Amino acid sequence: MRTSDGWLAAALVPLVLLAPVLWRVATGRPRDRLIALNLAQLLAALALLLASQGFARSSYLDLALLLAVLAPAGTLVFARFVGGVPAAPFVRRIACAAVPATVLPLCAAGGVSRQSVKLLVIGALLVAGSVVTSSGTQESAEADVADPAGGGTGPGAAGGGAEGGVPGD
Amino acid sequence: MTDVLVAVALLLVAAAATAAVVNRDPARQAFVLSFLGLSLALLFTYVQAPDVALSQLAVGSALTPLMILLTVRKVTRGSAGGPARTAGPGRRPDRGTARDRRPRRGERR
């Protein structure tokens, strides 16, 4: 199978960047972990996009598409447990810079085809998901107050106290 | 180049799995578990198994952590609400969460 080393080397960049993000996911307050997980999903989607071009298999794009759809939904559900979506301008800036910087060269390399349309859709989904999940909500400010007041309660209990109930519970 | 990618992804998986084991609080563990699923999906992609990666992405990085969080929430709510007020078998989950709540060394709260 023909692989192109340039694109695979580019895929190495988000992969290596995942290491410091893992540190943040493993040690930190629950809200920091949520932000770090959001960033990790974005970086993983970029790595998958670049890998699909590197392995010259357009069907690998489905992975990035699935991740682009699932990641914001998962983050929003996680956010219910930490009491609202935490504001993360850093993640938003990275999304607005890195996603076009990845998707547009991929489109240029592939030429005008169904694949480039798919790439653009995935890029738009990634940016939209990151913008939605990195903009803070009012709830997060309340959770800031509620968290120290809760003292020893776990993050799940603090989130439950801050926002009331879960539908379907 | 593929070997380098696989090696880095393997290192990432090993680090994420170790972090998931070291974290003792299930609610915090769920985040690390989600990250582990993500890095496993990347590894599967790099060893040319996109079908496995697809299911790993859906199940490992989204479904399992959410189910863990739901379970933790249910257990802590049960101990804070009804059964916990009556002393007896209902106190059991409370003891478990009290142990889990203990702040760990090197962890900011």
Q: What is the pLDDT of residue A123?
A: 92
CA-CA distances (angstroms) from residue A135 to A11, A21, A123, B68? 27, 19, 18, 25
Write out residues in chain B with pLDDT < 70, as ranges.
79-109
- Provide the b/e sequence for B56-68 (b: ≥16 CB within 10 Å): bbeebbbeebbeb
Please say if the pLDDT value at position A169 is more than 60: no
d(CA A84, CA A139): 5
Q: What is the pLDDT of residue A88?
A: 86
Q: Which amino acid is at A156?
A: G
Q: How far is B83 from chain A (nearest CA, A)?
A: 16
Q: How far is B65 from chain A (nearest CA, A)?
A: 9
Of A55, A60, A160, the CB nearest to B77: A160
Please say if the pLDDT value at position A16 is more than 70: yes
Q: How far is B31 from chain A (nearest CA, A)?
A: 7
Is A68 an interface residue toward B (CB < 8 Å)? no
Please report whether residue A126 resides in a domain: yes
Please report whether residue A105 resides in a domain: yes
Please say if the pLDDT value at position A163 is more than 80: no
Q: Which residues contact A16 (CB under 8 A, 6 or more apart)?
A: B8
Q: Which residues of A are less than 8 Å from B72 in CB distance?
A: 154, 156
| Contact yes or no for B66 and A74 at CB 8 A | yes
What percent of chain B is predicted at pLDDT more than 90?
Answer: 39
Is A154 an interface residue toward B (CB < 8 Å)? yes
Scan residues 85-144 of A and list those with Cβ closer than 8 Å to B: none
Per domain, the residue ranges of chain B are: 2-99
Of A19, A34, A66, the CB nearest to B58: A66
Q: Which amino acid is at A33?
A: R
- Provide the b/e sequence for A94-115 (b: ≥16 CB within 10 Å): bbeebbeebbeebbeeeeeeeb
Residue of A nearest to B55 (CA): A63
d(CA B56, CA B60): 5
CA angle centred on A27, ends A21 and A31, rounded to 5°: 80
Q: Which residues of A are less than 8 Å from B50 in CB distance?
A: 57, 59-60, 62-63
Asked whether B23 and B65 are in contact (CB, 8 A), the reply is: no
Q: What's the whole-number mean pLDDT along residues A14-37?
A: 90
Q: Which residues of A are less than 8 Å from B108 in CB distance?
A: 27-29
| Contact yes or no for B1 and A3 at CB 8 A | yes
Structure tokens at A130: 């990151």
Domain count, chain A: 1
Q: What is the pLDDT of residue A161?
A: 37
Q: What's the whole-number mean pLDDT along residues A40-66?
A: 90
pLDDT per residue as tens digits for the range A65-107? 999 999 998 888 888 888 888 888 888 888 889 888 988 888 8
| Contact yes or no for A8 and B1 at CB 8 A | yes
d(CA A41, CA A52): 16
Residue for token pair 């489109």: A107
d(CA A53, CA A90): 27
**Nearest Cα to A147, choosing from A85, A82, A78?**
A82
Q: What is the pLDDT of residue B17?
A: 93
Question: Any idea what DSSP says for residue A84?
Answer: S
Structural domain for A153, as ranges: 5-159
Asked whether B84 and B91 are in contact (CB, 8 A), the reply is: yes
**Nearest Cα to B38, choosing from B22, B70, B15?**
B15
Q: Which residues of A are less than 8 Å from B62 in CB distance?
A: 70, 73-74
Please report whether residue A108 resides in a domain: yes
ipTM, interface predicted TM-score of the complex: 0.77
pTM score, whole prediction: 0.76
What is the Cα Rg of chain B in Å?
18
Q: What is the pLDDT of residue A158?
A: 37
Of B19, B28, B62, the CB nearest to A30: B28
Question: How many angstroms separate the first and last alpha carbons of chain A?
Answer: 50
